[in-house]
Structure formats: C-alpha cells, structure tokens
Structure 1
Amino acid sequence: MNFSKKAQRIMFALWLLFVPPGTLLLYLYSPTRPGEWEGYGAFLLLALLSSIFPFFIAGTTFVLVIWVQIAIFLKYGILAELISMQICMIPLSYHLKISRDSLYKYFYNSFMFFSLSVLCGNLIVLLGYEIGSVRIRDVIIYGSIFAISYLLINHLFLYMREYLCNMKVVFFSKDFYWEFACLFITLPFGLGLYLFEHSTGNTALWLLGLPLISITLLIRMYSDSEKVNADLNEASEFGHQLAERMTSTEILDMFLKRLSDMFPFDAGYIVDNVENNFFILRAREDGENKELEYVHDDIKYSLAGKGYEKGEPILYNKQKEWTHMKPPFLADDMQSVMCVPIYRNQRIEGVLVLAAREKFAFESYQLKIVHLLCSYFAVSLEKARYVKEAVEKSEICDLTKIYNYRYLDKQLKLDISRLNKGSSRTVSLIMMDIDKFKAVNDTYGHHSGNIILQEFANIIKEEIGSSGTVGRYGGEEFVIILPNYSKLQAMNVAEQLRRKIEQTPFMVPLDLGEISREEIIFITASIGVSTAPEDSDEGLSLLRNADRALYIGAKQAGRNRVAEYVR
C-alpha cells in the first residue's frame, strides 16, 4: 500500500501534534504515577513477548498483545497501558517491515495506538471504572468494553486512513472478523491475568503468559506451514496454467503477471542471453509491462550477469547488499532483490530478477518456489517452441515452402477481424492461376510441373516480401493477402506480377521423351482481385469474389490478364 507524499506528511504531523505533548500531559495529570507501578516491568516483558511472536491467518498478521494491555490498563491505568503499547511498537515495526523510507507508517501507527489508549481508557474511566478495582463484575464488564472498543476504534482509524487516501475500503472486512475471533479467545486470559496476578503476584504472569505464548508459537508454526503449502499449491496451479499456453508470447505475458499476484514485488525482469548477448526479454514495473533496452555490458556486470554466471538463486534483503553491482534497470528506491536462474535442457538461458521497495520483502522459501516456477516457465517455453514448429510445419506447403490453405484461412480471418475493429482500412486479396498448367504436366511431366510451381511461388514471395501473406491455395492456384491495400493498389501489384511471370523463362527437364534434356518454357497467369470492405466484409466471400473475377474476368476473357471483382 503506497501513500502520496502529502499523506505521509499528514501522518507525521498527526504524530507530532498529538503523541509527544499528549504523553507529557498524561504523565503530569495521570491519577497513577510510574512510582506506584509495582510489578509493571513483568507485565511489560510479557507484552513484549506477545508482540514478538505474531502469527498469520488468511493472509493477515495478528499480534496477540491486547490481552496483556487489558490487564495493564485495569491495574495501572491509561498512562501505563499507553507506554506499554508504544514500546511494543518496536517489535511490531519489525514485523511490519518498516524501513527508513516507510517510517511514516511507524508514526501513523504510533499516533493510532496513542489515540486508542486515550479514547478507550477515558471511556472506561468515564463509565465509572476505578483503576485497580478487583470486583469481578467491574473487571469483566469494563475490561470487555475496553477490549471491544479498542478493536472497533482501531478499525475505524484504518477505515478513515484508507478512505482519505481514496482507497477501496470495507469496515466489516475479513480481517475484522478474524481479529474479533482472536479477541473473543484471548479476552478471558487478559481478565484472568489481572485477577490472578492480584492474588498470586508475578507468578500469574508466567502461569498464564507462557502457555498462551507457547500456543501462539504453535499457531504461528502451523500458519507458516499452511502458507507455504498454499503457495506451493498456487505454484502447482501456476505451472499447469503455463503448460496450457501454446505460444511463447502468451507464456511470457502470463509469467510476470501471475508472479506479481503471488509475491509482493514492485518490478520484475526476465533477462535473456542469446549468443552471449544479454537483453531484457520482458519487464513489469508497478503493475505495467515495459519495453526496456540496455547495453549488454551494463547487464553483464550487474547482479543479473553475476546471477547468470553463478547459476544459483540469490536473495538480497536490503540495498546495501547489492548496490555495488546495481543493474541499470533497477530503480534507486528498490531494496529487496531476488535473482533466479532460468534453466532449459540443463543449460542456463537467462535470469529472473524480482525487486521490491521494502526491506526483507521476500521469504527464503519464496525464493525456492520462484526457482521451481522458473523451471515450469522454461519447460513451457520449450514446449511452445516445439508446438510452434509443428504448427508451422502443418501450415507450410511441402512443395513450394510457402503457406498452405490452412494458414491462409486463419490469416484471412485475422485480417478481416482487424478490419472490422478499425485496426486497418482495407484488405485486398489476389488470386492467381497458372494458365494451361495441365498441358505443361502432360507435355513435360509432373516433375517439371512441380519445378514450375516452386519457381512460381518464389517469384511471388520475392515480389510481395513483407507487404502481405503469400500462400498456395491448391493445385496451381495461389493467393496473396494485402492488408491496407486499396483495390487500385492491389490491381497494380497484380499487374506487375503478371508481367514478371510472363517475362520469366522457366528451365524444366524434359523427361517424357527418349532423350532427357532441359528446355526453356514461358508461362502466363490469370489473376483476380477483390477488396474488403468494398466488395465484402467476410473472408470467404472475399475469396469467392477474387475467384469469380479470375475465371470470368480473366480466364474466360482470354487468360494472361488481371481482372477486378465487379458486383
């Protein structure tokens, strides 16, 4: 959760305005003074132990310190509870991973807990509770009100903070219900601690405190293992999703996006190495894909290059650990960095670099999971390459080495879709047919016919280049798809092709006679042209229109000519 500079300044101003002067006023006018707090140190130690060992439920961190704070308030009053909570902020700040750059979080939390102590404490005093009372009825009622109001006002502060920062907030969230459940469980311990300590002294703190802290540790160990298992299950599902992707582009686009959903990184980079040249294959920064270009040497001598050379996953928890080999693509405010090699066929192909602005943002087990996911990623890319080769093979005419009907049909649908979406203005289609090709086969043989088909395809491919898609429609028919070509432009292209073919000599072997020899022959082609959306906005209709123009306007009109489709 990132806050604007203005919001950060407001948080610091609130702390400065209320916490130091407020604490001083409480010290001066509190009905109970530190000199009267016999045994306070033991309570404070128990509160610190409770705050040192948080645990996690449903992705939320819980610190069971409120049960000790209840006992401290009931025995010593507002000032003692306030001081205890402010001291417990030190281990809490560690668990919240508050760094120098995010120090505003500490000040806001300090202000928030100060306000909670003052508001809840004064509420209970105003309702009639006498500090140090051991009447069972008063302890249960006022202690419960203190705890419940503490929880409600705490969430009210969080709600107001996020509302003022224009964030989507829900008061009765999942976290609220979990915290209420934890409070319901620990409230009797807090009330019991106060009453038991009154009758037995500090012994009560260890008889009640140590078992509860031990239970907290067990819950933490269990929740940690549950979190690891949940991440492993998500990683397994992630691996299956990668395996289902059929193209390298889909896999690359999905990989960093899904990783950002699983782990708290602010920037991610896939650094590839092709023929000993480093470059950034994919980059994602603050939730957006980026196109980045950097010099090979700048990457090679950075932590990305070192990670590639070492071939093992590395985790850096703060900037000073890696700043001496800072990559050019990492922002200056990054702290935690994860560098993981990507292996394919037992050979390192590149590295994945994940970075976060928070210190200690990544856990060591997450490094192992990311390493596992990089293996899934590499295998998926390899599979996608094989699939691509198989698909390309199935879409290439074995004889002419240009696209076949399967690919032409797919490409035409794609171009028409782009036209209908407004991505292109026009789509023109040229259909060509070799004149009297059956006579060529009958005279010179099918082998010679195949040579003519191959050279015919080469002529078209060279003439069209990257301007369009060239494919063999079937037999001696060929198709050219020209996106963003008007009918007039397509007619000019078709005419140039007709002349080129007419003027090109074809050398073919004459194998049907008694003596084999080579002979030069000339061929011609009839051509039909149709354009979308002028003639049709459907691919199949566009093909039929060009075919109709070819046979009616060119073949029946004498062959060796170009004809346009006319409605």
Structure 2
Amino acid sequence: MDVKPQTKQAIFLVWFLLVPAGLWFTYHTYPPKINGHWIDLLAFLLLTSVVASMPIVINEMFIFLIQWVALATFLRFGLFVEIIFAQIAVVVLVLKLRILRKGELFRLPLNLIMFFFVSFLSGGLYYLLGGHTGPKLQINADFLLLAVLYAVLSYTLNQVILAFNLYVIYKSKDPYFGKEFFVETITTLITFPIGFILYILYNQVGLLALLFVGVPFVSLSTIFNLYYSSEKINEYLQKAAEIGHQMAERLFIDDVVDLFIKKLSEMLPVDYAYILEASGDELKLIRRIESGQVLPNDQQFMSIHEGISGMVWANRKSFLFKTKKDWIEYSNGYIPKDAESILGVPIIRSKKLIGVLLLASRRKRAYEKSQLMIIDILCSHFAIAIENARHYEQTKRQSERCALTNLYNYRYFENMLTEEFEKLTRFERKMLSLIILDIDHFKNVNDTYGHQSGNEILCELASRLGKLVGVRGIVARYGGEEFVVLLPDVSKEEAYQMAELIRQSIANWPFSISQSLDQKHQQVRITASIGVATAPEDAEDSLALIRHADRALYVGAKRAGRNRVAEYSSC
C-alpha cells in the first residue's frame, strides 16, 4: 500500500505539533502521582517494554497485547505516565518487528499519534466522569465500572483510529472486520482482566505483583512464539518437500531454475537472486534476477575466494549476512548497492559442489537461521532436479540429433513437419516451404576418397546449411546424403532463392578432407540437386509436401542433369 509523500510529511508534522504539546498539557492538567516510588515506576516501565517486545503470534498475525499493562499503569501512576509508557512501547515494538524500511519511517510517528489519541481521549473521559488516580477498585464498585469503561473506550478508540489509518491513509480496500479483528478482540478481552489483577495485587503486595502476573504472561508469550516458530519451520519443511517434487517433475534445466527462483521468492523476501555454476576452477553465472526481472548473464567468471559466492564455494558452507556492513568487505561489486541481507548457500550433489545460490533483500535482517536450513534442503532438491534435467536433455538431444552431423534427424524433422502443418491448418501459418537436397554422385566420393572423407564432407555441408538457413528454418539430415530444410512462413519464391544460394555455396566452394585413402589433405568439389515445394499451394498434408518436394528433386533436378534447383509443378 503506497502512501503519498505529501501524506508522509504531514504525518511527521502532525506528530511534531501535537504530541509534545499534548504531553506538556497532560503533565500540567493531570500530573503524575509517583510519590517517590521511582523504583516501582521503573519496574512498570520494564514490564511494559518486555511485553511490547514479545507480541503474541497467532496465524501469522502479531498481536500487541500491551493494553493490560497500560491499564494497570494508568490506574497506578496516572494519564501522563501511561502516555509516556505507551509511546515507549510503540518504539520497542517497531524495533522488535523491524518494519521500518526506507520510505516507511512515517509509520513510527503515525502509530505514536494513534496511541497518544487513544490514551488522551480515554483517560480524559475517565477523569471527566469522576475517576482519579489510585482508586480502590476492590472497595468501590463505581471506580471499578469507570476503570472498565476506560479499558473498553481505549480499545474502541484504538480500532476506530486504526480503521481510519487503513482506509484514509493507506487506501486499503480489504474488509476491516476480518479474522485479524476478531482474533485481536478476543485476545484483548481475555487479557484486560489481567490488568485489573495486576493493579489490585500491586496494592496488596507491591512489586511482587509484577512477578506474579508478569512472569506467567511473558512465559505464555514465549511458549506461543516458540510454538509458532516450530509451526513455521514445519510449514517450510512441507513446502520444501512439495517444491522438491515439483522440481523433480520438470524435464528441462530452464524450467527447474525458473520454478526454483519463483518458489524461493514466494517463501522469502527476495529482491535479488543469483545462481552460479561451478565450472572447473571458476563460477559461472547462469541465472541473474534483480527486482523480478531476468537480466543477461554478463558478469565475469569468479574464482574461488572471490566475492561472497567464492567464499561460499571455498568453505562449502552457508553464510547469512543480516546487514550490508556485515558483507561489504567480502563483496567484489556485483551485488547491488541497496542490498542489505544476503543468504549464500552451496549447491552440493553427491558431495560435489556444483554451484552457489545467492539471495539478497533490501531489508535488514530479512532472513533467519531457520530459513537458512530450509534453503539448504531446497538446494539439495535443486541439485538432484538439475542433474535429472541435464540427463533428460542430453538423452533427448541424442535422440533428436544425427550423431555425425549434429543436425536434427529424420524423427525430429517428421514431428516438426506435423506440428507446422497443424499450425498451417489452424491458420497460425500462412505457408510452409520444404527444400530437399541430395548430393550428386556421392557414392563416387566414398569410393574414391573413402567413407571417412565422405563423412567429413557431410559434416561440412551440415555446417554450411546451418549458417545459410540460420533461424529462418529447421535443417535436418533426411538420410544418407539427403538433407531437408523446413521453412515456416516462407513463400515458394523465397524458398527457391534460398535453395539456389545453397546450391551455389556447394558447387562453387570445394570441401576440405584430411582422411582420404591416400592420407593427403585435399580439396573436393561436389554438387547437389535440390527440390522445392510449398503448402498449401502444392500440398494439402505433410506427406504430400514431402512427396512433391522429392518429386521436384528427382524429376526436375536429377533427370534434368543434376546440380540444379527445381520447384514442384503439378503440370
């Protein structure tokens, strides 16, 4: 939720003009009644600070249960002390939750203003109705009723001002009376009686009351938070297992990497993410994501001990830096300047380090040690998924490529032809051209120079075809000395021109061979005959396109004398 800069400035101005003056007015109108009990005052302040630093976590909601201490403080020392303690409690809570980031400092004065209004208005009404500091609640029911009214009014005003902040300042569109509201209301109603008990017990036994009441409450908060932490870790472990299964289902390396980064960003505050692959004695950047954008991997290779990633690599262990001052001395400049928290984890498979993961956040103390353990587990899943994907891609590549020329083989070409023809029938393609090429008298080349030399010529021809066609089409070895070029959205005239360019590049430039029968380096000249056909002009299905291009090759080019290009004609 974005807040306009003018609104932020206005909040600081309101706090500066209102709160100091309001404190001065409160001190003179409702002076505190300490009566020399400074140790008691400090004890209440300590209890307030401890409770403020230990908000109870319920379903990922931080419940600020300071009202019961504020109630006892108000009844014992008066409005001025309660306001001061409330302001201190807000500061303690904000520091504990570490919610103040760059551009959000206005949240501190905003909350200070809110708590000042709540304290001043509810306390002022209490005094206006006849209440006073230090009432004997156990003796006079009227004073008890006024104290209850003060507590209810205090909570009600807190909710009203909070709603104002959400809808007017933050422009929130979420419903206010949701789960968070009901949970906070119930917990507040449960804890308010503790404030009355603390005040009454304090009047009976003095400072021991703070121990009798405060210690159980603080212990309960600790137990709640420990339970929440264990629940959070269990949730992370379940997510890690789910992500591991999802990564194992991905067949390609890029898909595994994308899923890994996406899930990490959902689990943790990630502004920058880097995955580096160990290659020999260097680390190579294979994925670089900054502010949600995938950027080019143009960083230089890093050696062992160089930068934070090199340190992770050298020590083969994880590192957690909570602020920039902790890691700046190890950085070699490739991490953005506004990064604060950094998480560096080695990616290890079968006791071999295969890479390094670096996560960074603009927030200070954005990562915890428990999260480091989870990321370490995820990196193990990631390493296995990457290895499986690499094996799959290698197997797929071998099944799709000609082992000699490294061009696509007939099986892959046939699948691509079927897919492209389906696009043509769905009008996703306007046309589809096919070039079939056959080397003239290739048997003579094998008989004269040997099959090894013939293989050299096939490999060099494959290289020439790849360079000539580029990204405009798909080049495949059709079988033996035959090659095909599939050209989506290329007209017959353009395909014919490309075929002629291919023919000339074969006929005009000799091929080098070094493994001839006489073991001499030689230059060999060959020619090729080429047939061209285009769908839907020449064919209505994929088989007809191959048949007609093949017919153009043998009837129009081979029979006509070879070393020429022929296009299919139904006449």
Q: Would you say same fold, with TM above 0.5?
A: yes
Aligned to 1:48: 49
Q: 1:410 to 1:57 in 2, by over 3 A?
A: farther
Q: 1:336 to 1:86 in 2, by over 3 A?
A: same
1:545 deviates by: 5.1
Aligned to 2:110: 108
1:332 deviates by: 2.4
**For the Cα contact (< 8 Å) 2:348–2:354, is it kept in 1?**
yes
1:297 deviates by: 5.8
1:261 deviates by: 0.9
SS of equivalent residue, structure 2 residue 329: helix
Task: List per-residue Cα deviations over 1:528-550 (Å, max 9, x = no partner).
Answer: 3226xx759xxx95634532532
Question: Once structures 1 and 2 are overlaid, which stretch shifts more, 129-138 or 275-284?
Answer: 129-138
Question: Once structures 1 and 2 are overlaid, which stretch shifts more, 291-300 or 79-88?
Answer: 291-300
**For the Cα contact (< 8 Å) 1:545–1:565, is it kept in 2?**
no
Q: 1:203 to 1:365 in 2, by over 3 A?
A: same
Q: 1:292 to 1:499 in 2, by over 3 A?
A: closer
Aligned to 1:339: 344
Q: 1:308 to 1:524 in 2, by over 3 A?
A: closer
Q: 1:497 to 1:277 in 2, by over 3 A?
A: same
Aligned to 1:429: 434
Aligned to 1:96: 97
**Matches of 2:79 and 2:331 in 1, distance apart?**
49
**Matches of 1:11 and 1:281 in 2, distance apart?**
46
Name the % identity.
Answer: 30
1:338 deviates by: 1.5
Q: CA RMSD in A?
A: 4.2
Question: Once structures 1 and 2 are overlaid, which stretch shifts more, 303-312 or 223-232?
Answer: 303-312
**For the Cα contact (< 8 Å) 1:143–1:191, is it kept in 2?**
no
SS of equivalent residue, structure 2 residue 26: helix
1:159 aligns with 2:166: yes
For 2:309, which of 304, 315, 321 is the aligned residue?
304
Aligned to 1:547: 546
For 1:530, which of 508, 531, 534 is the aligned residue?
534
Aligned to 2:518: none
Question: Once structures 1 and 2 are overlaid, which stretch shifts more, 459-468 or 217-226?
Answer: 459-468
The AA in structure 1 aligned to 2:549 is: L
Query: 1:466-545 residue pairs with structure 2 within 5 A?
Result: 466-467=470-471, 468-473=473-478, 478-483=483-488, 485-498=490-503, 525=529, 527-530=531-534, 535=537, 541=540, 543-544=542-543
Task: List per-residue Cα deviations over 1:69-99 (Å, max 9, x = no partner).
Answer: 1222344443222111112234313312256
Aligned to 2:60: 59
**Matches of 1:105 and 1:346 in 2, distance apart?**
48
SS of equivalent residue, structure 2 residue 475: strand
**Matches of 1:418 and 1:82 in 2, distance apart?**
73
Question: Once structures 1 and 2 are overlaid, which stretch shifts more, 48-57 or 381-390?
Answer: 48-57
**For the Cα contact (< 8 Å) 2:247–2:382, is it kept in 1?**
yes
The AA in structure 1 aligned to 2:407 is: I
Question: Once structures 1 and 2 are overlaid, which stretch shifts more, 187-196 or 19-28?
Answer: 187-196
Q: 1:422 to 1:312 in 2, by over 3 A?
A: farther
**Matches of 1:143 and 1:124 in 2, distance apart?**
6
**Matches of 1:112 and 1:502 in 2, distance apart?**
87
**Matches of 1:459 and 1:422 in 2, distance apart?**
34
**For the Cα contact (< 8 Å) 1:313–1:339, is it kept in 2?**
yes
Task: List per-residue Cα deviations over 1:88-116 (Å, max 9, x = no partner).
Answer: 23431331225685644433332332233
The AA in structure 1 aligned to 2:81 is: A
**Matches of 1:3 and 1:350 in 2, distance apart?**
41
Task: List per-residue Cα deviations over 1:210-267 (Å, max 9, x = no partner).
Answer: 2222111111111111111111111121211211111111112222221111112322
Q: 1:457 to 1:127 in 2, by over 3 A?
A: farther
Q: 1:431 to 1:558 in 2, by over 3 A?
A: closer
The AA in structure 2 aligned to 1:241 is: Q
1:14 aligns with 2:14: yes
**For the Cα contact (< 8 Å) 1:43–1:72, is it kept in 2?**
yes
1:188 aligns with 2:190: no
Aligned to 1:516: none
Task: List per-residue Cα deviations over 1:112-143 (Å, max 9, x = no partner).
Answer: 32233234434555677555442446157414
1:461 deviates by: 4.6
**Matches of 1:422 and 1:340 in 2, distance apart?**
49
Q: 1:127 to 1:555 in 2, by over 3 A?
A: farther
Aligned to 1:175: 180
1:491 deviates by: 1.0
**Matches of 2:68 and 2:537 in 1, distance apart?**
79
For 1:464, which of 443, 466, 475 is the aligned residue?
466
1:389 deviates by: 0.8
Question: Once structures 1 and 2 are overlaid, which stretch shifts more, 216-225 or 464-473?
Answer: 464-473
Task: List per-residue Cα deviations over 1:21-55 (Å, max 9, x = no partner).
Answer: 22222222226555587844443332222123233
1:501 deviates by: 6.7
**Matches of 2:511 and 2:52 in 1, distance apart?**
90
Question: Once structures 1 and 2 are overlaid, which stretch shifts more, 454-463 or 185-194?
Answer: 454-463
SS of equivalent residue, structure 2 residue 344: strand
1:193 deviates by: 2.7
Aligned to 1:512: none
Task: List per-residue Cα deviations over 1:314-363 (Å, max 9, x = no partner).
Answer: 11122222222234232323222212122234222332222222222211
**Matches of 1:264 and 1:192 in 2, distance apart?**
42
Task: List per-residue Cα deviations over 1:158-212 (Å, max 9, x = no partner).
Answer: 414xx64556544234433332232132122223333443455444333222222
SS of equivalent residue, structure 1 residue 283: strand
**For the Cα contact (< 8 Å) 1:82–1:117, is it kept in 2?**
yes
**Matches of 2:340 and 2:422 in 1, distance apart?**
46
Aligned to 1:517: none
SS of equivalent residue, structure 1 residue 19: helix
Question: 5+ residue gaps in structure 2?
Answer: 514-523
1:358 aligns with 2:363: yes
Task: List per-residue Cα deviations over 1:269-295 (Å, max 9, x = no partner).
Answer: 223343434443222223333335233
When normalised by structure 2's length, the TM-score is: 0.80
**For the Cα contact (< 8 Å) 1:528–1:562, is it kept in 2?**
yes
**For the Cα contact (< 8 Å) 1:528–1:547, is it kept in 2?**
no
SS of equivalent residue, structure 2 residue 493: helix
Aligned to 1:383: 388
**Matches of 1:139 and 1:350 in 2, distance apart?**
66
**For the Cα contact (< 8 Å) 1:546–1:565, is it kept in 2?**
no
1:58 deviates by: 1.9
The AA in structure 2 aligned to 1:547 is: I
1:383 deviates by: 1.0
**Matches of 1:302 and 1:372 in 2, distance apart?**
23
For 1:325, which of 330, 333, 336 is the aligned residue?
330
Aligned to 1:117: 119
Count of residue pairs brought into register by the alignment: 545
**For the Cα contact (< 8 Å) 2:68–2:192, is it kept in 1?**
yes
Aligned to 1:29: 29
